[in-house]
């Protein structure tokens, strides 16, 4: 089969050959060092997620699925209730690593259902089913990204300028990505886009990951500081904004990397369509509105020192470091999932699309 651009990134999160470890590319080291990490203990997996070594909502879910399987193998009992109790302890621990992306608890709940759905099975039979399920989560993600890419590509034309924020590319998923998926797919089909990547303060996912992925994929990418988005829009260089999401509420409000809502407000002002792209697993129909989404607060050192040779503020200066914000549904032109392109009114149309 012919190799596609997304294949280069297909193994960012995977299970080791013996099934006893999770292997991830360390995203905090990119773009300078391509280093793979082996995760074996509950602490390894928790820390990798918390420290953003693996990040991006779908990739976090995939890592958690593989992670809980690896941990389940370490539960040495033949007793179903003991197994379930220990499994749940691991699940709760991993689930507490990051609160905003729903994919984390979604994947862990899926894995738990395999256990609770088979009380008649032996522990070794349950382990086989768990392995199948976590591999399935990743396979489905690849399929979903492909479908999202196809739908997303219908929204743009050859030669368009696209602005993106944070990283919703192959590193954040399994292949193609969500917001970047249409661009990789278009590239495979001979289309050219001019992408403007917000650097995305404070952790610079746009600079370190998005511009790296796009440049490697041969896509024309220009890195800008977050505060330059307004100018490139005013210049007429942007025909659409494509961003990912960490949780979409039932009314269409969408949580994504801090700064996304500002991009949406600018896009509205300049009359540029603003699209949110993500897998159905990111749509949380149990969450009524954006106000119900828990926003992760992170360490102030990420703002002051993390990527600088010297501190950028006095130690006594206070910082406020929310990792995400919520874009109001009224600013979103459409939400693209593997099920199709959902336009407003979102409360009705998401309910119809996700059949509740």
Cis peptide before 345 (omega within 30 of 0): yes
Contact 354, 280 (CB under 8 A): yes
Tell the smallest beta-carbon distance from residue 323 to ligand MRU (Å): 5
Q: Does 58 bind ligand MRU (CB under 6 A)?
A: yes
- Residue 64 makes CB contacts below 8 A (sequence gap 6+) with 45, 49, 94, 95, 104, 107, 108, 111
53 binds ligand MRU (CB under 6 A): no
Interface with ligand MRU (CB under 6 A), residue from 6, 56, 182, 290: 56
Q: Counting contacts by CB under 6 A, is residue 52 touching ligand MRU?
A: yes
CA 245 to CA 258: how far, in whole Å? 11
Residue 75 or 104 having the CB closest to ligand MRU: 104
Q: How far is the CB of 52 from ligand MRU (least distance, A)?
A: 6
Place of tokens 């768990």: 130
Site for ligand MRU in 172-201 (CB under 6 A): 172-173, 177-178
Return the closest-CA partner of residue 66 out of 98, 42, 100: 42
User: Is 262 assigned to a binding site?
Assistant: no
Nearer to ligand MRU, 114 or 209 (CB): 209
- Evaluate whether 233 touches 266 at the Cβ level (below 8 Å): yes
Displacement of CA 260 from its chain's centroid (Å): 14
Q: Which is nearer to ligand MRU, 75 or 166 (CB)?
A: 166
Is there binding between residue 166 and ligand MRU (CB under 6 A)? Answer: yes
Residue 98 in tokens:
């990051």
Q: Where are the alpha helices (DSSP H) in 280-322?
A: 301-304
- Helix pair 123-153, 80-95: axis angle to 10 deg: 30
Q: Which residues are part of the catalytic machinery?
A: 246
Q: Is 55 annotated as a binding residue?
A: yes
Measured from each CB, the residue nearest to ligand MRU is: 244
Structural contact between residues 57 and 246, judged by C-beta atoms closer than 8 angstroms: yes
Q: Residue count at the site for ligand MRU (CB under 6 A)?
A: 19
Instruction: Map the footprint of ligand MRU across residues 309-338, applying CB under 6 A.
Output: 323
Element (DSSP H or E) covering residue 195: strand 194-198
Which of 186, 244, 259, 290 forms a contact with ligand MRU (CB under 6 A)? 244
Asked whether position 57 contacts ligand MRU by CB under 6 A, the answer is yes
Please select the residue that binds ligand MRU; options are 256, 261, 333, 337, rule is CB under 6 A. Answer: 256
- The answer on whether 208 is annotated among ligand-binding residues is no
Contact between 168 and ligand MRU (CB under 6 A)? yes
Residue-wise over 183-215: b if at least 16 C-beta within 10 A, else e? bbbbbeeebebbbbbbbbbbbbbbbbbbbbbbe
Virtual torsion, Cα 75, 76, 80, 85, nearest 10 deg: -40
Q: Where are the extended beta strands (E) located within 203-245? A: 220-224, 240-243
Site for ligand MRU in 79-118 (CB under 6 A): 101
Q: Decide if residue 207 touches ligand MRU (CB under 6 A).
A: no
210 contributes a contact to ligand MRU by CB under 6 A: no
Q: Does 65 bind ligand MRU (CB under 6 A)?
A: no
In whole angstroms, how close is the CB of 56 to ligand MRU at the nearest point? 4
Residue list, annotated binding site for substrate: 55-57, 98, 205, 256-257
Which residues contribute to the site for ligand MRU (CB under 6 A)? 52, 55-58, 101, 166, 168, 172-173, 177-178, 205, 244-246, 256-257, 323
Residue list, annotated binding site: 55-57, 98, 205, 256-257
């Amino acid at each position: 089969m012919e190799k596609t651009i997304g294949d280069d990134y297909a193994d960012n999160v995977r299970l080791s050959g013996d099934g006893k470890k999770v292997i991830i590319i360390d995203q905090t080291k990119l773009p300078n060092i391509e280093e793979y990490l082996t995760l074996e203990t509950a602490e390894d997996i928790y820390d990798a997620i918390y420290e953003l070594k693996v990040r991006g909502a779908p990739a976090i879910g995939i890592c958690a699925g593989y992670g809980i399987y690896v941990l389940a193998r370490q539960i040495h009992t033949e007793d179903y209730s003991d197994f379930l109790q220990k499994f749940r302890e691991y699940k709760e621990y991993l689930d507490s690593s990051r609160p905003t992306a729903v994919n984390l608890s979604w994947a862990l709940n899926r894995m738990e259902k395999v256990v609770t759905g088979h009380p008649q099975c032996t522990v070794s039979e349950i382990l086989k089913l768990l392995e199948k399920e976590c591999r399935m989560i990743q396979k489905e993600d690849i399929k979903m990204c492909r479908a999202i890419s196809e739908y997303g590509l219908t929204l743009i034309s050859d030669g368009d300028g696209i602005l993106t924020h944070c990283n919703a590319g192959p590193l954040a998923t399994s292949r193609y990505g969500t917001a970047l998926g249409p661009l990789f797919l278009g590239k495979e089909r001979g289309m050219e886009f001019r992408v403007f990547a917000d650097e995305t303060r404070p952790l610079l996912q746009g600079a370190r990951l998005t511009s790296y992925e796009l440049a490697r994929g041969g896509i024309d990418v220009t890195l800008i500081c977050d505060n330059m988005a307004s100018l490139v829009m005013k210049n007429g260089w942007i025909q659409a904004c494509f961003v990912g999401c960490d949780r979409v509420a039932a009314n269409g409000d969408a949580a994504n990397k801090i700064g996304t809502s500002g991009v949406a407000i600018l896009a509205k002002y300049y009359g540029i369509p603003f699209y949110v792209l993500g897998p159905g697993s990111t749509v949380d129909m149990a969450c009524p509105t954006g106000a119900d989404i828990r926003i992760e607060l992170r360490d102030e050192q990420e703002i002051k020192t993390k990527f600088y040779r010297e501190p950028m503020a006095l130690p006594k200066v206070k910082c406020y470091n929310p990792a995400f914000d919520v874009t109001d549904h009224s600013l979103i032109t459409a939400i693209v999932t593997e099920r199709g392109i959902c336009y407003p009114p979102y409360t009705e149309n998401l309910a119809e699309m996700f059949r509740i």
